[in-house]
């Protein structure tokens, strides 16, 4: 069976797995996992898309998968599949996602939102993280300084999801809205509305704005290859003003 996931090395040691996914089977928002090869050779994966044979083989080719990351409360569908395939990997997610996975009997090695805010999980020499306690979906933003790349799940969208639908024959065009990217008024409104604790949001938005990144890899929509910091500041303008 041919994989519907587009796999590419975005930059040195950073690989994306971009797959089709429709919210409510209507809105083509796309899905994406991202793998980063750490300086010690281990592989860290933000796991948020299907694990088909092509994806499995590529991950195994990159090196030993030692970290499986669930980036927010709703991106948890495939964590069990990843853990089953890579049982030696540490599984870390936000507490809300962990509660939802209880019936699967998964053992987690860390919980954003439950652990102390200064908890170190072991990959911080390569990847920084910022937990957005004031965001509705309890997202975590990640930063890989070596490639100047920021990764996130639902904090920032860059639709339409062209790359994620590139293996399907569909355009990935978003109905009704057309686009939902960081420069639209709709995205600012979305970011403001999903902020349930505005002061916590201001703190964390500023913390991410302080990172030195050029690229943003979102779970939904195309990768922002350059001027990622400008895109972040525009999407979260209402918190930064």
The predicted-structure confidence for 52-86, as pLDDT tens digits, reads as follows 999 999 999 999 999 999 999 999 999 999 999 99
pLDDT in the model for residue 178: 60
Q: What is the pLDDT of residues 133-187, one digit of tens each?
A: 999 999 999 999 999 999 999 999 999 988 998 887 665 565 555 688 999 999 9
- CATH match of 6-112+126-240 with 3.60.15.10: yes
Give dist(CA 219, CA 224) in Å, integer. 11
Q: Considering the entire predicted model, what is its pTM?
A: 0.95
| Residue 218 β-bridge partners | 152
* Confidence grade of residue 3 (pLDDT, cut at 50, 70, 90): confident
The DSSP code for 106 is: P
Give dist(CA 67, CA 236) in Å, integer. 29
Give dist(CA 159, CA 155) in Å, integer. 13
Pairing of strands 128-131, 110-112: unpaired
* Confidence grade of residue 101 (pLDDT, cut at 50, 70, 90): very high
Please say if the pLDDT value at position 228 is more than 90: yes
Q: What is the separation of C-alpha 195 from the centre of its chain, rounded to a whole number of angstroms?
A: 18
Enter the tokens of residue 190.
């979305």
φ, ψ of residue 240 to 5 degrees: the values are -90, -20
pLDDT in the model for residue 23: 65
* Confidence grade of residue 21 (pLDDT, cut at 50, 70, 90): confident
Own/partner pairs, 25-28, CB within 8 angstroms, 24+ separation: 26/175, 27/174, 27/175, 28/160, 28/161, 28/164, 28/165, 28/170, 28/172, 28/173, 28/174
pLDDT in the model for residue 238: 98
pLDDT in the model for residue 168: 77
Which of 81, 68, 144, 146 shows the shortest CA–CA distance to 108?
Answer: 68
Enter the tokens of residue 22.
């429709």
Please say if the pLDDT value at position 217 is more than 80: yes
CA atoms within 13 A on the CB side of 146: 12
- Residue with token string 């070596």: 146
Boundaries of every domain in the chain: 6-112+126-240
For 65, 165, 221, the CA distances from 42, given in Å and listed in that order, are 6, 29, 27
pLDDT in the model for residue 99: 97
pLDDT in the model for residue 87: 98
Count of Cβ atoms closer than 10 Å to residue 116 Cβ: 6
Please say if the pLDDT value at position 25 is more than 70: no
């Amino acid at each position: 069976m041919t994989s519907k996931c587009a796999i590419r090395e975005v930059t040195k040691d950073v690989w994306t797995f971009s797959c089709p996914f429709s919210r409510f089977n209507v809105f083509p928002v796309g899905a994406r996992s991202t793998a980063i090869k750490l300086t010690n050779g281990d592989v860290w994966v933000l796991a948020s898309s299907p694990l088909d044979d092509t994806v499995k083989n590529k991950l195994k080719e990159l090196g030993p998968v030692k970290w499986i990351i669930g980036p927010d409360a709703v991106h948890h569908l495939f964590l069990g599949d990843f853990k089953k395939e890579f049982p030696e990997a540490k599984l870390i997610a936000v507490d809300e996602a962990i509660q939802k996975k209880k019936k699967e009997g998964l053992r987690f090695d860390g919980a954003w939102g439950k652990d102390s805010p200064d908890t170190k999980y072991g990959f911080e020499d390569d990847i920084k993280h910022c937990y957005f306690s004031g965001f509705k979906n309890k997202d975590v933003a990640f930063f890989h300084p070596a490639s100047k790349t920021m990764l996130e799940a639902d904090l920032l969208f860059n639709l339409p999801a062209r790359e994620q639908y590139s293996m399907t024959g569909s355009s990935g065009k978003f109905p009704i809205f057309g686009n939902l990217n960081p420069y639209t008024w709709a995205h600012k409104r979305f970011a403001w509305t999903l902020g349930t604790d505005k002061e916590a949001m201001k703190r964390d938005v500023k913390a991410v704005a302080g990172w030195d990144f050029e690229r943003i890899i979102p779970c939904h929509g195309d990768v922002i290859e350059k001027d990622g910091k400008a895109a972040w500041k525009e999407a979260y303008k209402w918190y930064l003003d």
